[in-house]
Structure 1
């Protein structure tokens, strides 16, 4: 789950903006749940990783 579309009941702002202490606490909790590998779960990061691996495979298999 991401905080992009979560709305805080305390300040009525987006949680991702971190306007109040409740928002900031929720952001910290979400980051702790995801852990260090949480960013790889996003589709954009996975596509970038696949493209990088394909580029390396292409360079390795290319004749000299």
Structure 2
């Protein structure tokens, strides 16, 4: 989950804007917890799956 769509209960602003200390603290905490795949968008994930499928088909044809 990203902080782009989260709304702060303290200032009613987006957490990504960091309007108040609570927003800034939560934004920093979320950025620390992000894993290696946090930046992948659904479109990128679908492209990677399609590429993996294509490589599997090519490998199958080459070994047959």
Give the TM-score, by structure 1 length.
0.59
Corresponding residue for residue 10 of structure 2: 10
Q: Give the structure-2-normalised TM-score.
A: 0.59
Unmatched segments (≥5 aa) in structure 1: 51-64
1:43 match? 42
- How many residue pairs end up in the alignment? 61
**How far did 1:44 drift?**
4.4
5+ unaligned residues in a row in structure 2: which ranges?
50-64
RMSD: 2.9
The alpha-carbon distance between structure 1 residues 47 and 22, as it changes in their structure 2 partners (threshold 3 A), is same
